[in-house]
């Protein structure tokens, strides 16, 4: 059974940093692309970033490019999102998801909540 | 990277069929057959319902079907059931190798 478990969320001041983690089990982690998707309060889903299993390719939504960095550790079957220069509009529930091939996300975690507030 | 356009809400009675549309551009929905649909209960993990326009993952009911024409994709739920009540999002893979989600549709079973 595939399980994705996010952690690292919390409350942070504007301009601050936070690092999210996603621990994967039950899938061949080093064969998957992995994504981060977020949902702001009362809003819809927004794709944030994804990364190829070997880390050689990374893509970001325009609103986070230059502030967020996605990475993986295949030895730990883990995905990360380093978030810097956080803004109030980054407040959201952040999900990690697995991408078995181009075009979709098959497994999702339960999410970790990030709140950016002074 | 504007969100794909979906109706805010759709409703139907048990047993009826409903269709949710998802409109994008030639850079996303119209670019590839990489449209997927997700069922989401807020605060919970989204669930993949369809991928590659009309393919169902194992375990998803055949009451869910999908289609695409040009820059518009659609999800049809046949034989609507109370457990289908949820938010539904379309998603498309773009020519920039990113993803874009739809604005979301709340499905209500009357």
pLDDT in tens, B68-100: 999 999 999 999 999 999 999 999 999 999 999
Query: How far A59 CA lies from chain B's nearest CA (Å)?
Result: 6
What mean pLDDT comes out for the span A50-73? 95
Query: How far B8 CA lies from chain A's nearest CA (Å)?
Result: 11
A27 vs A40, more confident: A40
Interatomic CA distance for residues A17 and A11, integer angstroms: 10
The CA R_g of chain A, rounded to the nearest whole Å, is 13
Residues near B30 by beta carbon (within 8 Å), at least 6 away in sequence: B24, B70, B71
Name which of B1, B3, B51 is nearest A44 (Cβ-Cβ).
B3
Number of inter-chain CB pairs under 8 A, A vs B: 75
Name which of A45, A108, A110 is nearest B101 (Cβ-Cβ).
A45
Interatomic CA distance for residues B11 and B85, integer angstroms: 9
Task: Please tell me the least confidently modeled range out of A30-34, A42-46, B36-40, B62-66.
Answer: A30-34
| Structure confidence at residue B42 as a pLDDT band (50, 70, 90) | confident
Residues near B17 by beta carbon (within 8 Å), at least 6 away in sequence: B76, B77, B78, B79, B80
Closest to A95 measured CA to CA, from A75, A79, A112: A112
Q: Is A100 left (phi over 0), alpha (psi -120 to 50) or beta?
A: alpha
pLDDT score of A30: 78
**Which candidate in B40, B88, B99 is best for mutational testing of the A interface (most A CBs within 10 A)?**
B99
Residue with tokens 């605060």: B43
The CA R_g of chain B, rounded to the nearest whole Å, is 13
Query: How far A15 CA lies from chain B's nearest CA (Å)?
Result: 24
Residues of A at the B interface (Cβ-Cβ below 8 Å)? 35, 37, 39, 44-47, 50, 57, 59-62, 93, 95, 97, 102-106, 108-111
Q: Identify all chain A residues contacting B46, using CB atoms and an 8 Å cutoff.
A: 37, 45, 95, 97, 105, 108
């Amino acid at each position: 059974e595939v399980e994705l478990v996010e952690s690292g969320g919390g409350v942070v001041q504007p301009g601050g940093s936070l690092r999210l983690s996603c621990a994967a089990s039950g899938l061949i982690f080093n064969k998957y692309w992995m994504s981060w998707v977020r949902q702001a309060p009362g809003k819809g889903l927004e794709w944030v970033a994804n990364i190829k299993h070997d880390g050689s390719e990374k893509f970001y939504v325009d609103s986070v490019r230059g502030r967020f960095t996605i990475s993986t550790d295949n030895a730990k079957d883990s995905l990360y999102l380093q978030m810097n220069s956080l803004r109030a509009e980054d407040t959201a529930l952040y999900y990690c998801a697995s991408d078995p091939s181009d075009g979709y996300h098959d497994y999702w975690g339960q999410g970790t909540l990030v709140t950016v507030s002074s | 990277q504007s969100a794909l356009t979906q109706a805010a809400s759709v409703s139907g009675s048990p047993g009826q069929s409903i269709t949710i549309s998802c409109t994008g551009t030639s850079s996303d929905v119209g670019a590839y057959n990489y449209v997927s649909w997700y069922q989401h209960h807020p605060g919970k993990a989204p669930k993949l319902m369809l991928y590659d326009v009309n393919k169902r993952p194992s375990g998803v009911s055949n009451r869910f079907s999908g289609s695409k024409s040009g820059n518009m994709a659609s999800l049809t739920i046949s034989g609507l059931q109370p457990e289908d009540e949820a938010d539904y999002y379309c998603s498309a893979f773009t020519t920039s190798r990113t993803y874009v989600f739809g604005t979301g549709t709340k499905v209500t079973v009357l």
